[in-house]
Amino acid sequence: MVKAMPAPYKHKRTGVYQYRQRTPRDILEDARGKKVSVTVDGTVRQLTIGGELKVSLSTKDPREAKERAREVQDQYDLIWDSFRSNEITLTHRQAVALAGEVYRDWSVLEDNPGSPELWSHIRALNADALIGRPHLHLLTIRPVVVDPLEDRFGPFVDVVLERHHLRVTPESRMALLNQVAIAVQEVSGLLERRAKGDYRPDTNADRFPSFEPPKSSVEFRPSTAITFHQIIDAEAEHRRLGLGAKYQPLATRTQRQYKTYTTEFAVFRGDDGDRADTVTHAELKAWKVSLLTDPERPNGPRTVNDKVGSIKTMLGWGVERFPESSGLKRALAAVGPLELPGFTRKPSDISAIRLDEAAHVLRAARRETDSRTRWLPWLCAYTGARINELTPLERKDFFETEGYWFFKIRTTDTRSVKNANAIRYVPVHSALQAEGFRAFVEGSPRGRLFGPNADSYVGRWFRHENGAGITREGVSPNHGWRHLFEDLCRRYRVSDSAARYITGRSGGGSSEEYGKTFAMLPGLAQEIERIEPFIID
């Protein structure tokens, strides 16, 4: 079988990365409830297998988390393989090597060994077990009928077998018991000598070879096991480093959205989960149908178009970022013909905010104290910008040149724009400045001007009875301003090239040149001033 590539995830509350994997179905019945050991950064963790196996990676650093996840995945695969495989037969060398691990586990007591009498007594008990003499347990009158060797040294055997996730034949266990018994007796003698003050070099430790595990049936082929989360991370890194033609970084918010979609798809898929290189046409089509028809969680055609289309987009990224993966090429070819759900865009006259509604909303915003509802409706009204272009604005994005005030809509590590034309300088209308917006910006601390989730918050406020209270069916609470602004540009005869630039649309003509030097900016400000202020008093 092929083991999955590790994909750690961050705990929402603590920020510490964790790693988990669903227990394979074919071994779930046998494995459920079993105790296993997993080592993370030198620390052994005792875990219980359930429907999944989860462990903390004990780090908040994403690079370190990925490295540790790979090490944990190797151990997980050995655990799963141990339940699938037949019991193995240890060679004599392997048995001696495992006994050496027990020897080294005990030898950590060398610096503070305790009393010589303690170790003399332990050696006597070990000697009895080695010759098969049972010993009396507390609260018993006669010897308990057990194998003395297993009773005495079996727990140490269990530790080393669990450490390497091994299931051995009864014959191999007996051979290992004998080797462990000898090793424990030798290290007990060493500790007795240390307790008496004898710290001459230990000559026994060198006799144990290093343990070389039996060859696992698990094959690691990273070129074929690629997850959606890996693809998103690789695309984000590729853009961050400027290695391709993509001009903008993959914003953190976009990455979260795509990972949300892939997680939802992974849950629907089941066993293959987040693996991208095994996606089939039938799987993606079934998910599309499920999204459209699920009565408990209804999704509109446009939402389904976004979700399913995003999966296809990410597979395209994967082929570019992992060209050695034949599985990704097959998956992309398979889902390529899948038809996305169609949807009808609302006519502009329905979705646009009307003049009377605009005056009502701006009047309501004037009464607000929350910066989101106080200023974002006014900014949308006088700029025609998309609200998600405005919500990330910071004080440093605003500047003055030749007596006019502007702000820059730009792309950063945490914000993205729709296309190249969306990166632009936007004039601040004098009506906005008269309303007090400039004073608000200049009096704000560093960082973002508006609080979290501003676009959805403003959208809810727009319709709520305690907010603007606009309930007309079809009107778009945020994007409707953009339609209105474009109509106002026509009404007040703002030049087409300036209107396209200010709103960030591509016209294929001279408007593409606006903003390349600051010499053009005063002309933009003069154009936007053609729009007469809303009458809201």
501-528: pLDDT as tens digits: 898 875 545 445 444 678 889 999 999 9
Please report which confidence band the pLDDT of residue 92 belongs to, taking 50, 70 and 90 as the band edges.
very high
Strand partners, 55: 19
Closest CA to 397 of 380, 416, 410: 410
3: left (phi over 0), alpha (psi -120 to 50) or beta: beta
Q: What local confidence, expressed as pLDDT, does residue 147 receive? A: 76
Looking at per-residue confidence, does 42 or 519 come out higher? 519
Is pLDDT at 64 greater than 70 in this prediction?
yes
**Residue 218 confidence (pLDDT) above 60:** no
Distance CA 93, CA 424 (A): 71
Instruction: Work out the average pLDDT over 344-348.
Output: 63
- Read off the DSSP letter of residue 406: E
Q: Indicate the pLDDT class of residue 7, thresholds 50, 70 and 90.
A: low
pLDDT computed for residue 272 by the predictor: 67
Which amino acid makes up residue 479? H
CB 322 within 8 A of CB 234: yes
The CATH number of the domain covering residues in 348-528: 1.10.443.10
Q: Are 259 and 229 in contact (CB under 8 A)?
A: yes
**Unique residue bearing structure tokens 């004073």:** 439
pLDDT confidence band for 191 (50 / 70 / 90): very high
CA separation for the pair 253, 454 (Å, rounded): 13
Q: Please name the residue that has the structure tokens 């030798």.
A: 186
Q: How far apart are the first and last CA of the chain?
A: 73
Rg of the chain's alpha carbons, rounded to an integer?
34
Query: Which pLDDT score is estimated for 189?
Result: 93
**What is the C-alpha to C-alpha distance for residues 56 and 9, in angstroms, rounded to an integer?**
10
Across all residues in the chain, what is the average pLDDT?
83
In this prediction, residue 140 carries a pLDDT of 47
Helix (H, G, I), strand (E, B) or coil at 425: strand
Kindly tell me if the per-residue pLDDT of 151 is higher than 90: no
Residue 275 φ/ψ, nearest 5 degrees = -70, 125
What are the tens digits of pLDDT across the range 161-170?
888 878 888 8
CB atoms within 10 A of CB 310: 18
For the residues 223-228, what does the mean pLDDT come to? 72
**Is 19 in a helix, a strand, or coil?**
strand
From the number of C-beta atoms within 10 Å of its C-beta (0-12, 13-18, 19+), residue 385 rates as buried
Residues above pLDDT 70, as percent of the chain: 87
Structure tokens at 308: 């399913």
Helix (H, G, I), strand (E, B) or coil at 91: coil
Of residues 219, 230, 204, 261, the one with CA closest to residue 80? 219
CA distances from 521 to 109, 400, 417, 491, 530 (A): 77, 10, 21, 22, 15
Contact 65, 59 (CB under 8 A): yes
Reduced to 3 states (helix: H, G, I; strand: E, B; else coil), residue 226 is: coil
CA distance 38 to 54: 10
**219, β-bridge pairs:** 2
Lowest-pLDDT choice from 16-20, 399-403, 407-411, 416-420:
416-420
CB neighbourhood size of 80 (10 A): 22
DSSP notation for 440-503: HHHTSPSSBSS-TTHHHHHHHHHHSTTTT----TT--TTTHHHHHHHHHHHHTT--HHHHHHHH
pLDDT exceeds cutoff 50 at 4: no
pLDDT digits (tens, 9 = 90+) for 464-492: 999 999 999 888 888 889 999 999 999 99
Which residues touch 12 (CB under 8 Å, ≥6 apart)?
A: none
Q: What is the pLDDT of residue 86?
A: 67
Strand pairing class (398-401; 52-56): unpaired
Q: Is 515 left (phi over 0), alpha (psi -120 to 50) or beta?
A: left
Q: What is the pLDDT of residues 262-316, one digit of tens each?
A: 888 888 887 667 889 889 999 999 999 988 888 777 778 888 888 999 999 999 9
pTM (whole model) above 0.85 = no
**226/447 Cα distance (integer angstroms):** 37
